[in-house]
Structure 1
Amino acid sequence: MSALSRSEAQDARRTLAVLVRAVGWDLRLQVRYHIVTVAAVVTALYSVALRGLGAGRSEELLVSILFSDPTMIGFLFVGVLVLFERGSNTLHAVVVTPLSTAQYLWSKAVSLTLVSVPCGTVMGLAGGGLRTGLIPLVVSLTLTSLLFVLIGLAGASRARSLNEYLLLVPLFLVPMNLPLLGLFGIADSWLHFLIPTQASLILMQAAFDPQPSWAVVYAVAYLGCAVAGAFLWARRAFDASVRGTRRAR
């Protein structure tokens, strides 16, 4: 291995070590702000309700409930975290720390996803009927949570108060929830495939009933691209609003 390769490997390890520490710190903050507690209580209530419904519940209802979990954690909880940090001047302190914008964003996204995925998985198991296994559900919960957290970070970076952030949330939630109309057969349209959450629903449905191969490939690829795009947007918004280094779009 060349000296340059060794140096790059060391830099990658240092970057990963910083990210791991940041994720651990964010998880502690989520415990302190009772985010984990709220998520656990909501999961328990949904799980009890789903067990109570048993065979009386529809697959569409179960998928919509599973879909709501990363939505709530991604949009609402990340807003609470960022605005708490802004209020305590912690957010602006990030500018003078070794933590890069990318590390800050991924720390929030990964830590909240580590809360969202187990919660959604428990609800999926409580609902029963996972005929094709957990993998499609876990993949969908992971990518969907990352997507919503990063979009939430883009919005929270601009907001100055919780009320302002809550006014921004519907601007993202309404279009992202349109594929639910197709799920329940209310208004099905090929245009829903342009919305990333259509991919989320396809993967969640794949945990209960086999989906066409092309649909699964589309869902994974499109969600992956959407996560990458949301990260770039969140980084631009954070740099513009917090670091003041570039203009947000």
Structure 2
Amino acid sequence: MRRMLNAWGHDIHFQVRQGFYLAYLLITVMYCLLLSLVPSGARADVSVLVVFSDPSALGFFFIGGIVLLEKGQNIYDNLFVTPLQVGEYMAAKTLSLAMLSTLSAAAVHLSAFGWEGFSLLFLAGILLTSAFFTLIGLGLAVRCGTLNGFFLASPFHPLTIWEVLYGLAVLVVGIGLAYLWAKRSFINHIVLKIGGRGQ
């Protein structure tokens, strides 16, 4: 746990240094300004699209850039001779990017609606969705080095408690499966090829 937390702190420092937070601050401000121009009758629908298509998928795009950068700098050649485990590395990356996504989504929602509809359930949905897409992005990035865009759409009708529980359960199961797939991809395409044994 301590190694993962240290890696998580390092990832946040790296993201700040590389301008991720500044870039997403500007993007978030842009979204907030655009939402303020949307007629109030359509604002809820547009807000859902913005929150669940961009901030929640942020990890998918950023993890691809991070992995490609780290591969290009040969960071992996030395990283896994340290006590840091692949699972800890992945958890730190996923948590740091999911946190950035959640902060951005929260800012967009609060700017458009204030505290109305803002809840732990809303934050959990963003966090879990971002974690899922980050893991999918990581698995693709280590396999082929290129990323395709994915966008999420959310239903526009009130959800029953069973739909909420079902949605959360699907995300949790999806995260588990994506984690296992991404970890296997990372081991096969990075860890086992360290030292010039493959591209």
Please indicate, yes or no, whether the TM-score normalized by the shorter chain is above 0.5: yes
Matches within 5 A, 1:100-179: 100-128=85-113, 131-160=116-145, 165-166=146-147, 169-170=148-149, 173=150, 177=152
Counterpart Cα distance in 1 of 2:53 and 2:163: 21
| Aligned-partner Cα distance in 1 for 2:115–2:51 | 13
The residue that corresponds to 2:69 in the other structure is: 84
Distance 2:115 2:158 in 1: 10
Structure 1 pair 54/130, CA: closer, same or farther in 2 (3 Å)?
A: farther
| Superimposed CA distance per residue, residues 168-219 of structure 1 (whole angstroms, 9 cap, x where no aligned partner) | x25xx2xx64xx3xxxxxxxxxxxxxxxxxxxx25xx6xxx74211101101
Q: Equivalent residue for 1:221?
A: 169
Q: Which runs of 4+ in 1 moved over 4 A?
A: none
Indicate which of 211, 226, 236 corresponds to 2:159. 211
Computing the radius of gyration from Cα coordinates, the structure with the larger value is: 1
Tell me how far apart the structure 2 counterparts of residues 56 and 132 of structure 1 sit (CA, whole Å).
16
Structure with more relative contact order (C-alpha pairs < 8 Å, separation 6 or more) = 2
Stretch of structure 1 that moved more, 102-111 or 44-53? 44-53
Structure 2 spans left out of the alignment, 5+ residues: 194-199
Q: Partner of 1:5 in structure 2?
A: none
Q: CA deviation at 1:236?
A: 0.3
Q: Structure 2 length normalisation: TM-score?
A: 0.89
SS at structure 1 position matched to 2:185 = helix
Listed as ranges, the gaps of 5+ residues in structure 1 are: 1-15, 181-200
Deviates further, 50-59 or 139-148: 50-59
> What's the offset of the Cα at 1:220?
0.8
Instruction: Give the alignment's TM-score, normalised by structure 1.
Output: 0.72
Check the 8 A contact 1:62/1:127 in 2, yes or no.
Answer: yes
Query: How big is the shift at 1:33?
Result: 1.5
The alignment covers a number of residue pairs equal to 193
The CA deviation at 1:244 is: 1.5
CA gap of 1:129–1:57, structure 2 versus 1, over 3 A, is farther
Q: Higher helix proportion, which one? A: 1
Deviation of the 1:53 alpha carbon: 2.2
Task: Flag the 1:159–1:235 CA change in 2: closer, same or farther, 3 A.
Answer: same
Q: Contact 2:135 / 2:178 at 8 angstroms: preserved in 1? A: yes
